[in-house]
């Protein structure tokens, strides 16, 4: 697909829509195995609506924009920049992350669907102004069906270049600022709900909480939990960050390799994904896992492993939705009061997930996806993909 914006060549080179007229089953003689047909199969397996491959040879921009769902509003999701080893790896990331955004938004009650962009480039060497302007043109070409923002490898400054080409972008430097304190508040609410589930009380006073990672979210979470009277055990591979949390909030610092084995009421992963696996779950000495990291389970089966150990797991996409809720000030015109109210709602959503898991006899990770899918399927489909 080729289009033109103000005389420039558009960046979109190939677009695949899911709702197309079915094609004859005989392959075209030009078709090559493992190209478009493979993409379409993967899209229908996970329910994606649209995948756009975009390129701008002049700047070296190469990207994939995946729109998983616009059922309850335009697809919202950040732009990740990463030196992916293969296009296949980039596509896998775009498909997986955009689907995750659909569930995160639907569970959080924000009027957006799920999408994600991946820019295939080395963040250290890319020509950022040119690359992000090209990205802005690709996003603009989607006419508002997709709204982007920051993610790993991109910053609010990059979004200024995107903004030169499209209005469908959030996370700009001068608007609402850092979402991390909101993410931390949401994690706190998920921790409280999990304690309520296992102990019958959400009170944090006197509880011991082990925090893995003291960066943007982990630092604010440590502050909030300390203010609520919790005792902290913490770790970070960055010694300065660990020392700061020890000094300011009296946290006991342990080595990064042993934080998940700390004896605590709650383990809060706030560093990286895939940390909960058959290698780490047997060593946990907590009753609750609730943290900010994305994709905490190495695989779906690890949800059952936690369940078998009677550890209450607050599903990551429910617990860490605070940043997305916060972004609604900028991209949906929400008031600060509405943001705060929705953030507090993470408590009730987490409780509802544990209740559904108990009733259905399934792990909380599975219950979270099931009830979110049910909510999505019950929502009327929007014709335009615009917020109500
Ligand atoms: P960050 O990069 O600011 O902080 C991560 C911290 O973890 C760093 O201080 C790093 O030194 C530390 N770390 C890395 N490896 C570690 C290890 N092995 N042991 C202990 N510490 C280690 O990131 P962030 O913005 O605080 O986000 C944390 C997690 O939460 C990420 O997985 C992110 O995707 C997720 N998340 C963040 C937000 C947000 O608003 N920032 C929103 C949703 C999800």
Percent of residues, the chain, with pLDDT higher than 70: 89
Q: What class, spelled out in words, does domain 4-163 have in CATH? A: alpha beta
C-alpha to C-alpha distance for 360 and 250, rounded to whole angstroms: 41
Q: Which residues line ligand 1 (CB under 6 A)?
A: 179-180, 183, 212-218, 235-238, 241, 256, 270-273, 292-294, 320, 323
Angle at 38 between CA 33 and CA 41, to 5 degrees: 140
C-alpha to C-alpha distance for 175 and 171, rounded to whole angstroms: 7
Residue 283 pLDDT > 80 = yes
User: Which pLDDT does position 15 carry in this prediction?
Assistant: 31
User: Which pLDDT does position 384 carry in this prediction?
Assistant: 54
Higher pLDDT, 321 or 385: 321
Q: Stretch 167-176: mean pLDDT, rounded?
A: 87
First to last CA, the chain: 30
Same topology, domains 4-163 and 180-375? Answer is yes
C-alpha to C-alpha distance for 87 and 93, rounded to whole angstroms: 10
Where residue 94 falls among pLDDT bands split at 50, 70, 90? very high
Q: In testing the pocket of ligand 1, which one of 232, 238, 253, 272 has its CB within 8 Å of the most ligand atoms? A: 272
At 132-171, the pLDDT tens digits run 999 999 999 999 999 999 898 999 999 999 999 999 999 8
Query: Which fold is adopted by the domain 180-375?
Result: Rossmann fold (3.40.50)
What residue has token string 């603009």? 140
> Partners of 64 in the beta sheet?
53, 118
DSSP structural state of residue 355: H
Distance from Cα 275 to the centre of ligand 1, integer Å: 12
C-alpha to C-alpha distance for 126 and 139, rounded to whole angstroms: 19
What is the chain's Cα-based Rg? Answer: 21
- What are the domain boundaries of the chain? 4-163, 180-375
Higher pLDDT, 351 or 173: 351
At 356-367, the pLDDT tens digits run 999 999 999 999
Distance from Cα 273 to the centre of ligand 1, integer Å: 9
DSSP structural state of residue 344: H
C-alpha to C-alpha distance for 343 and 370, rounded to whole angstroms: 21
The values of phi and psi at residue 233, to 5°, are -120, 135
Under a CB-based contact definition with an 8 Å cutoff, are residues 131 and 121 in contact?
A: yes
Which ligand 1 atom lies nearest to the CA of residue 241? 9
C-alpha to C-alpha distance for 230 and 226, rounded to whole angstroms: 5
Nearest CA to ligand 1 atom 19: 256
- Average pLDDT along the chain: 90
User: Which pLDDT does position 380 carry in this prediction?
Assistant: 81
Under a CB-based contact definition with an 8 Å cutoff, are residues 50 and 88 in contact?
A: no
Which ligand 1 atom lies nearest to the CA of residue 212? 20
At 189-212, the pLDDT tens digits run 999 999 999 999 999 999 999 999
User: Which pLDDT does position 241 carry in this prediction?
Assistant: 97
Where residue 14 falls among pLDDT bands split at 50, 70, 90? very low
Q: In testing the pocket of ligand 1, which one of 79, 152, 216, 223 has its CB within 8 Å of the most ligand atoms? A: 216
User: Which pLDDT does position 100 carry in this prediction?
Assistant: 93
Which ligand 1 atom lies nearest to the CA of residue 178? 40
User: Which pLDDT does position 8 carry in this prediction?
Assistant: 39
């Amino acid at each position: 697909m080729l289009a033109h914006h103000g005389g420039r060549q558009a960046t979109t080179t190939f677009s695949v829509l899911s709702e197309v007229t079915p094609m004859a089953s005989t392959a075209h003689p030009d078709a090559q195995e493992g190209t478009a047909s493979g993409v379409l199969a993967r899209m229908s397996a996970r329910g994606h609506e649209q995948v756009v491959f975009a390129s701008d040879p002049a700047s070296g921009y190469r990207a994939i924009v995946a729109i998983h769902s616009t059922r309850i509003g335009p697809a919202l999701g950040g732009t990740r920049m990463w030196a992916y080893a293969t296009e296949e790896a980039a596509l896998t990331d775009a498909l997986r992350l955009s689907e995750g955004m659909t569930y995160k938004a639907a569970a959080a009650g924000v009027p957006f669907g799920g999408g994600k962009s991946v820019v295939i480039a080395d963040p250290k060497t890319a020509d950022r102004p040119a690359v992000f302007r090209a990205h802005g043109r690709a996003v603009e070409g989607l006419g508002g069906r997709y709204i982007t923002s920051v993610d790993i490898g991109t910053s609010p400054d990059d979004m200024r270049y995107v903004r030169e080409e499209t209005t469908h972008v959030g996370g700009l430097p001068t608007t609402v600022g850092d979402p991390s304190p909101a993410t931390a508040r949401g994690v706190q609410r998920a921790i409280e709900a999990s304690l309520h589930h296992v102990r019958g009380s959400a009170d944090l006073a006197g509880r011991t909480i082990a925090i893995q990672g003291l960066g943007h979210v982990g630092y604010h979470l440590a502050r909030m939990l300390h203010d609520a009277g919790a005792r902290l055990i913490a770790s970070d591979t960055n010694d300065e960050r660990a020392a700061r949390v020890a000094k300011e909030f009296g946290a006991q610092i342990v080595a990064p390799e042993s934080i998940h084995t700390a004896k605590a009421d709650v383990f809060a992963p706030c560093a990286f994904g895939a940390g909960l696996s058959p290698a780490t779950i047997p060593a946990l000495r907590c009753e609750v896992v609730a943290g900010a990291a994305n994709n905490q389970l190495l695989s779906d089966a690890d949800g059952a492993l936690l369940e078998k150990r009677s550890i209450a797991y607050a599903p990551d996409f429910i617990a860490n939705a605070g940043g997305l809720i916060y972004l609604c000030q900028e991209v949906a015109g929400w008031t600060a009061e509405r943001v705060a109210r929705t953030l507090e709602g993470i408590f009730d959503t987490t409780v509802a997930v544990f209740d559904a898991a108990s009733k259905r006899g399934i792990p909380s990770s599975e219950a979270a996806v099931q009830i979110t899918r049910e909510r999505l399927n019950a929502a009327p489909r929007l014709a335009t993909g615009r917020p109500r």
